[in-house]
Structure 1
């Protein structure tokens, strides 16, 4: 187990100390793992207090929702373990006044028992207390009665509605009624791509083979209701939405809000893809999406996966969701709009293609050979770049190959035209550093050959030198920095020196020099690019950019 912790027995307390240290509006009780709002009115002036909590491991829940317009207190138990009755009671005593306390509880046995007993003890002390149980997991629709379902990420929306109702000064019964109605209008379902590791256990909670997902899981690292084959994100979202909406019984034109929740190990890139599909799926069914939120709201430590929550709303409920709130984990107002895709500015009118020159057929054949070679080399270039970079060079070169294949017929008319068109195509097709480097090189070479229908070897060598120099000027690299220039610069020198022997022999000399330059990069400490971050750890592996140079140079030699 690799985790940034000290003692598994101190994880929860140390986490809460860190969270509160970062939020001046929060405070931590000395004798219990309870986070409360730092600024509190005198007990007799306090509105209904809203509390929630549960086992740790769901961060940013629950402490992240302690703040104005949301929770007054959050109670944390050990990881995935209900907090004790005494801790919940301490929280009630700390934040409740005569108006009483509402406890928002997710539907797990331990939470219901400990929060329920604490509420009873609070009532015995004269503190009014109500409990709202959230059971929003529709995955259990065919397994248990509705009142036995689990509470999962949709609970966050109930926090918001209860907190806003309390902030309005409503009485305890009305705050509880608003929260219960919101819970009844809510459905959630999740999917996991892998397990999480509880610090005290030290190993993942279950094993999931490659190509499989757990569908319909809870939030405690457990398996789902079924194990299914991994599908594209759109298909998984469609499955989740279909089950949620079938359970809610939504009608066309119904107004809803959406919560896309990460389970802790899912990057924002993937959550945004899920959100895109969920919004489209809801709108395709004729539903009106009033608000949507996307991010980590209630997690399962580092589990990869997500859940979707849909809540039906009317004007009154939407107003509670829109009411002002300030807490570390509440990220915004959730306002959405229809997709706003702007058209690209019109391109300048294209010039008529030049008349094909004598080299047009050879140029076209050469481009196809280069494209095929780059495509065949994708796995090798990916492996090299992964060893000392970010691993994207192979796919970048494959995209470049596709761009070369797509060049119009007129691009083959003459050498300068081909180089200029290829440079523009690679600029558009290849992201990262490779695209600009190859684009500037080809554009500079095109200028060197302008007006030459059949350049001789010396002219080709001059264009090659101009291309290599352009790359160095743009990126700032020099010979010995372990970059593509360590293949290009020796090749340029050999090409120029051998130009008098004719194009074939001169290119052969350039290729041999480039091959020697590539081998030399294995012993060079990188000084530029991502490989430079590795320092001496990159030794022994040839530079990927220089290897890509050899791919297309060898293709041209053939």
Structure 2
């Protein structure tokens, strides 16, 4: 188990201390793991209705992250995935509630249900009015259990927001409780997991999933789901989740709030992909999603996966969900775009000088470019492997995109070598992201300028073009031979090409020498200490592995050499 903790038994307290230390608006009780709104009036007579929630830890930012005006007055934290004690809940009520009373928002798990209810009863005995709202929004078990036995999951956060906003408007306990109950009855949630989480005190994952398996219908405590499935595309997973949700909650013709909740280990990219499909599919089902939230709201430690919550909105709920709150982590806006806006990019695309007068396509140029494209596609796995060892692993995919762009060049691009290189550079600039696109685009542009614009192109011209390409990359990137970059193949190739021509070799023989030199450069790069790019962050850990960019250069030079040998 690898976790940034000290003693697992003290993790909850240390976490709360860190949260309160970061936020001057929060306070932590001395004897209990209870976080309280520090702006609470000392005089109980001046206090509004207190909204208190909580449960086991491990669901952060729930629940302590939602303490603040406009949401929770206090949050009670139990051990990881363990209900807090009756005494802790009672302490929170006594610390926060005045004559106007307290509302307890409770997730429908046995421990939470018992401890919060008993604490509420003990508070009533002391003369404090207390209402309890149970949230049972999970729909995964609706086929086998009655609704009142369903679990409380991420939809609870929306109930927090509604109850807290109602209190901020000065409403009495009975009205706040009624609004919270209405919200709890109008929200449904379905979750999926791509893997398990590890409870610190246990030290091992709660269950196992194969690389190609997912769980549908899990809770938020590291437990298994209702059923396993093979891994599916995100859109298919979302459609399945919405099918379960729409069976439990009628959505057609309704205005909806949509909560896409990460379980702790899912990156924002994937959550946004889920949100994209959810909004689209809901509209197809006749619903009108008008409010939306996407992020980590109620997690299960580091579990990869997400849940999807739908809340049917009326005017009051919509108004309360969008009212301001002082809670830092709550999104400032929840309005959903009625449609995806798009803007057409305006790219200056003037014809290249002389392009209109380009002659018929040169077969040798076409053959060389086609050979380069084929070599890049065939090398995807190898280049990905090399780049994964020393970079971010995207080089193989980038070179495939480059190949696709080269294959789409029109016949008019092959009328003259200079024009061909310039057009190829434009295509790669648009096709490849990251650093490879600008490098190749700049190199090809400079190489094209080194060639004569008309007439025959001699071997010496091609040598000047190859050198110009290397000089351009060095200029824009700041690297030099020996720094473990693509220059460690390109520069030796350029030097060998020029030297062979000076010896009197013909163009084909000289270029073959260039290819040999490029491969020697690739081999040498494995012994070089990286100074540029992502490999520089890894230092000596990449020693022994050739540079992927250098090998890509050697492969396309080799492809050109072979194509020139064809007749």
TM over 0.5: yes
- For this pair of structures, how many residues does the alignment match? 556
Q: Are the equivalent residues in 2 in contact too, given 1:374–1:397 (CA < 8 A)?
A: yes
Q: Are the equivalent residues in 2 in contact too, given 1:354–1:410 (CA < 8 A)?
A: no
Q: Are the equivalent residues in 2 in contact too, given 1:415–1:453 (CA < 8 A)?
A: no
CA distance in 1: counterparts of 2:290 and 2:490, whole angstroms: 57
Residue 228 of structure 1: how far off its partner (Å): 1.1
* More displaced 10-residue stretch of structure 1: 87-96 or 334-343: 334-343
Residue 96 of structure 1: how far off its partner (Å): 0.4
Residue by residue over 1:474-502, the C-alpha shift from the partner in whole angstroms, topping out at 9 and shown as x without a partner, is: 10111111111111111111111112411
**SS at 2:9's partner residue?**
helix
State yes or no: 1:552 paired with 2:556.
yes
Residue 542 of structure 1: how far off its partner (Å): 0.9
Correspondence for 2:9: 9
Correspondence for 2:524: 520
Residue by residue over 1:315-338, the C-alpha shift from the partner in whole angstroms, topping out at 9 and shown as x without a partner, is: 111111112211133122211212
CA distance in 2: counterparts of 1:244 and 1:307, whole angstroms: 11
Residue 452 of structure 1: how far off its partner (Å): 3.6
Correspondence for 2:221: 220
2:459 corresponds, among 449, 457, 460, to: 457
Correspondence for 2:358: 355
Correspondence for 2:96: 95
Correspondence for 1:469: 471
Q: Describe how 1:167-182 pairs up with structure 2 within 5 A.
A: 167-182=168-183
CA distance in 1: counterparts of 2:350 and 2:380, whole angstroms: 35
Correspondence for 1:318: 318
* More displaced 10-residue stretch of structure 1: 339-348 or 264-273: 339-348
Residue by residue over 1:128-170, the C-alpha shift from the partner in whole angstroms, topping out at 9 and shown as x without a partner, is: 1110000001111101001000000000000000111111111
Correspondence for 1:149: 150
Correspondence for 2:515: 511
Residue 504 of structure 1: how far off its partner (Å): 0.5
Residue by residue over 1:88-145, the C-alpha shift from the partner in whole angstroms, topping out at 9 and shown as x without a partner, is: 0000011100000000000000000000000000001111111000000111110100
**SS at 1:139's partner residue?**
coil
CA distance in 2: counterparts of 1:236 and 1:534, whole angstroms: 37
Correspondence for 2:538: 534
Q: Describe how 1:344-423 pairs up with structure 2 within 5 A.
A: 344-345=345-346, 348=349, 350=351, 353-356=356-359, 360-423=362-425
Q: Are the equivalent residues in 1 in contact too, given 2:324–2:332 (CA < 8 A)?
A: no
Correspondence for 1:441: 443
CA distance in 2: counterparts of 1:40 and 1:345, whole angstroms: 55
Q: Are the equivalent residues in 1 in contact too, given 2:251–2:286 (CA < 8 A)?
A: no
Residue 353 of structure 1: how far off its partner (Å): 4.4
Residue 85 of structure 1: how far off its partner (Å): 0.2
State yes or no: 1:292 paired with 2:292.
yes
Q: Describe how 1:220-239 pairs up with structure 2 within 5 A.
A: 220-239=221-240
Q: Are the equivalent residues in 2 in contact too, given 1:136–1:188 (CA < 8 A)?
A: yes
Residue 350 of structure 1: how far off its partner (Å): 4.5
**SS at 1:132's partner residue?**
strand
Residue 347 of structure 1: how far off its partner (Å): 5.1
State yes or no: 1:304 paired with 2:304.
yes
Residue 348 of structure 1: how far off its partner (Å): 4.0
**SS at 2:518's partner residue?**
helix
**SS at 2:79's partner residue?**
strand
Correspondence for 1:66: 67
CA distance in 1: counterparts of 2:10 and 2:260, whole angstroms: 31
Residue by residue over 1:296-315, the C-alpha shift from the partner in whole angstroms, topping out at 9 and shown as x without a partner, is: 00000000000010101111
Residue 349 of structure 1: how far off its partner (Å): 5.7
CA RMSD of aligned residues (A): 1.2
Correspondence for 2:245: 244
Residue by residue over 1:182-202, the C-alpha shift from the partner in whole angstroms, topping out at 9 and shown as x without a partner, is: 111111101100000000110
Residue by residue over 1:239-277, the C-alpha shift from the partner in whole angstroms, topping out at 9 and shown as x without a partner, is: 11121122112232x111110000000000100111111
CA distance in 2: counterparts of 1:456 and 1:137, whole angstroms: 73
